[in-house]
């Protein structure tokens, strides 16, 4: 099969870094802003940035409802940091007007690590990522406060959940796109390939 086409939601945040990481992980990567562009991808990354801004721009660009519909229909999605917040069914302390796409049955606390520490790096052992631990870059990062029964916890840091998967949805509190290590992106590209195969059967 040809390489899967994976979009990066390009409203705000570190879009370019994800495009580079996806291309390095053998996907055809392209920015997505409009519903027509969303319709053409096999999977989508929601980058790090500022979740309130991403939320407001998604509504403004008319892409919020199409995003929800595709995630509900099982399109593979991967959210990093602000992207993780966007995939949470529920967030603690949302800013006013902040909506999420949802898709993962979890409660996420925004800026959870940020209060003690603006930004830090730590080794994180991520289930499903072979080899040595991943270098986790945490930038005003959220953590997952609690998860529903369908959610698989892939990693924890300091007793807090920082990576999860529910079906075709993946989320990390940290930013693998900033490290040059593409193993988490490869895991996601594999999820997209598996989903394409399942859909074509
Ligand atoms: N704290 C940010 C938010 O609430 C997320 C930070 C990030 O993506 N690096 O959206």
Query: pLDDT tens digits for 14-56?
Result: 999 999 999 999 999 999 999 999 999 999 999 999 999 999 9
Q: What is the pLDDT at residue 118?
A: 75
Domain that holds residue 122: 5-200
Ligand 1 atom index nearest CA of 111: 1
- Proportion of the chain above pLDDT 90, given as a percent: 90
* pLDDT at res. 115: 66
pLDDT of residue 23: 98
Q: Whose CA is nearest to atom 2 of ligand 1?
A: 50
Please state the separation of Cα 4 from the chain's center in Å. 17
Number of domains, the chain: 1
Q: 196 C-alpha to center of ligand 1: Å?
A: 30
Mean pLDDT, each 10-residue run in order, the chain (201 residues): 94 98 98 98 98 97 98 98 98 89 98 80 97 96 98 98 98 97 98 92 75
CATH number at residue 173: 3.40.50.880
């Amino acid at each position: 099969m040809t390489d899967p086409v994976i979009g990066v939601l390009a409203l705000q945040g570190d879009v370019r870094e994800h495009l580079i990481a996806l291309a390095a992980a053998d996907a055809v990567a392209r920015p997505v802003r409009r519903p027509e562009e969303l319709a053409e991808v096999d999977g989508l990354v929601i980058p790090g940035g500022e979740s309130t801004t991403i939320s407001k721009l998604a509504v403004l660009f008319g892409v919020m409802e199409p995003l929800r519909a595709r995630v509900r229909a099982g399109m593979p999605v991967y959210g990093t940091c602000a992207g993780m917040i966007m995939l949470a069914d529920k967030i603690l302390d949302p800013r006013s007007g902040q909506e999420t796409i949802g898709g993962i049955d979890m409660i996420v606390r925004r800026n959870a690590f940020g209060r003690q520490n603006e930004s830090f790096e730590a080794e994180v052992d991520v289930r499903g990522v072979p080899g040595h631990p991943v270098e986790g870059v945490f930038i005003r990062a959220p953590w997952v406060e609690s998860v529903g029964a369908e959610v698989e916890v892939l990693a924890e840091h300091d007793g807090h959940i920082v990576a999860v998967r529910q079906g075709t949805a993946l989320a990390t509190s940290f930013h693998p796109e900033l490290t040059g290590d593409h193993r988490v992106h490869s895991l996601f590209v594999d999820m997209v390939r598996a989903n394409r195969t399942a859909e074509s059967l």
